Amino acid sequence: MLADAREDVRLKAVNLLKDAREKSSVNREVREFRPPVVNFNAQDYVDITDWASTSITPPSVLSDFFDEQIESAIQNLGFVYDLPEYPCHTQSAERTVQLVSKASSAVWGQERRDGFIRNTIASRKNMKRFKSKHDFAKALRVDKLP
């Protein structure tokens, strides 16, 4: 919402962030995640979530910014592009995306795709695992002996 072209949406985002910061500084307990109720009749993405009834927390990517810096996003759209770059996926998530993409192009249908993915994961579990390249090379040399 901070990067929206509409100033009123950016203002709403800043107000939500400031409110979330105030609440999180008071409450230091471990939070239980509760998915928000989704308004499927919303005409705009801003209205998909009922912000008044949803418990929100400030995003950690904005933790290094002062309120004044975040307020500058109302007038300055470039603020969003000054955010630090963090990887959004782990290596295992990227591997999963690759596997699902491969399955989608190899087979047709949900059941076959699921079977393809499960079989691939099962065959990976049966493969030998090496702690280093040295161990792998040693195993290759042993396999070639007569």
pLDDT-derived band at 78 (thresholds 50, 70, 90) equals low
Q: What is the pLDDT of residue 41?
A: 92
Which 3 state secondary structure label does DSSP give 49? strand
| Domain locations in the chain as residue ranges | 7-82, 91-144
What percent of the chain is predicted at pLDDT more than 90? 20
pLDDT in the model for residue 80: 65
Q: Which pTM was predicted?
A: 0.54
- Among residues 73, 92, 83, 54, which one has the least CA distance to residue 2? 73
Please state, as a whole number, how many other Cβ atoms lie within 10 Å of the Cβ of residue 139. Answer: 12
Q: What is the C-alpha separation between 115 and 99, in angstroms, rounded?
A: 12
pLDDT in tens, 11-65: 888 888 888 888 876 767 777 778 888 889 999 999 999 888 888 888 877 877 8
As a whole number of Å, the CA-based R_g of the chain is 24
